[in-house]
Amino acid sequence: MKHRETHPNLDVEGCFGCRVSLVHVGPNSTTTRGAAVSQTEQKARGWDKDMPAYRRLRKQGYQPRGIDGSARLEATATSAAQIESRPDIEKLVARGVAE
């Protein structure tokens, strides 16, 4: 650092260069958006299971409403109507309508 040649200890009172030289930028520049980044990464990890399941369903001729939740849908759905309308399986099981 060039300023260190002028003030070796970087402790001169009132020197702007000494003040600025002590400021460091951390590697994580997304600290204010950390929650959003975390959610996006979690969703992307879920796609590791959902994408292959979605492809298998499409290959079988079904039309799921989306990629998200396709693995769970593939494992729990018992009819084409359940796959294509995508009801919330847990709610139907709780009401006794589905198994």
Cβ atoms of 88 and 68 within 8 Å: the answer is no
- Asked if residue 94 belongs to a domain, the reply is yes
- Asked if residue 37 belongs to a domain, the reply is no
- Asked if residue 59 belongs to a domain, the reply is yes
Q: Count how many residues are written for the chain.
A: 99
- Asked if residue 40 belongs to a domain, the reply is no
Cβ atoms of 47 and 27 within 8 Å: the answer is no
pLDDT digits (tens, 9 = 90+) for 58-80: 999 998 888 888 888 888 888 88
Sole residue written with tokens 């109507």: 81
Average pLDDT on 28-34 reads: 60
pLDDT digits (tens, 9 = 90+) for 46-62: 888 999 999 999 999 99
Q: Which of 25-29, 60-64, 83-87 has the lowest mean pLDDT?
A: 25-29
d(Cα 10, Cα 2) in Å, to the nearest integer?
11
Residue-range definition of the domain harbouring residue 67: 47-99
- Asked if residue 6 belongs to a domain, the reply is no
Q: Which two tokens stand for residue 30?
A: 């997304």
- Asked if residue 19 belongs to a domain, the reply is no
Structural domain tally of the chain?
1
Q: Which two tokens stand for residue 34?
A: 């950390």
- Asked if residue 29 belongs to a domain, the reply is no
- Asked if residue 72 belongs to a domain, the reply is yes
